[in-house]
Structure 1
């Protein structure tokens, strides 16, 4: 039993090391006092200083966070209505629409990006913030629907029938029953959508314009000419912010428990 437990823990340790060693190397090299060499030349904060002085980079960061927040919020609202409709009501083509959701999730991003570009070209919509927003909302909605529908599938339908017997309308059932029960899934869907929007490169590459630059495309253009320590510093800051949010959420959940 001890041998089995030791082998399992060793396997998990190797998996976690495979995931986190590249991140640790990236953070360490963000303090390396050289621009192009992979050899250690001493400790420095120079790249963080240059990072915080790069106004164009911070504008792209603000654009990405604003775009992610807007896309996640709208996608969560639309996805919630779609998931509740697919779960609550029976109508012609319901199974077909449910299958289309999974097709959209499995569709390659390069196909989705090219499709959006063709659509915007046909309707003569100028590429920029609105094309990015519409595209990010569109590819986030299926993930929200799947997240919320899996939560809805665990509900006891008798709750809704009992509410109807007590005289509750569909609006009251939605506000008083659906929303409170769906709140954890709504938060999960919003965070997933925000992460997908913030991280997307392929679809954004097709539908972005010159007037609205976002962080993933900015990093991609910087990496094409070589990995600079400034990029390492930026990635380290983003990882630190993510880690901070995870710690705060765990503390909040512990206090709530």
Structure 2
């Protein structure tokens, strides 16, 4: 019975034995005993600092989920059980997420069980759920979940399977680069104003006339925008092409016009 309870709950062998002793061998009561014990354990650990963790993604082409889960140590973060747990949360997130707080409440029982099993505090830092019927979603996770990326493409008449492959390639590119927006029109004006102010202060130190300074700043700002806009960047796998040019070529292969609708990048 101890072995059966351990397989059902994932709790430690001695905890399972104690649960069965306390409940006179009643399996359901023993499971409830362990659940309450796990909640108490989770409450005690809730004040512990969580600096490590992993990101996992789930995708079936039309819907996707991403979850960033923090834990206390790198030892647990790279553990197969923790990695599998984050993956299971990402799959649940793919059903839809209104807020990270709401998602955390939804998976509270799962978290309590994982905390009891692995012995560390865990906190959901980010949860996202995407759904598209008319487009295609691709994902990429780097290493043991240090970076996770979701990319959605609109595909028109393009082959969806091919579009998913393309989305995965773009997700890999985003993981490797600093990307702030799909194109210049998507950039946050506040980000540009902040960068422009920084460049102006930097240029003033040169002692050059104002008309020259303005040209210097405009040139540097243009370069900055090109560096952080996805479509303007050189594609990682084919550096002689911009992402826009590469995507145009892939569109022809896919039989339709592919375009990036949105992306999400999360990292530890």
TM-score of the superposition, structure 2-length normalised?
0.21
TM-score of the superposition, structure 1-length normalised?
0.22
The structure, 1 or 2, with the larger RCO (C-alpha pairs under 8 Å, 6+ apart) is: 1
Which is strand-richer, 1 or 2?
2
Which is helix-richer, 1 or 2?
1
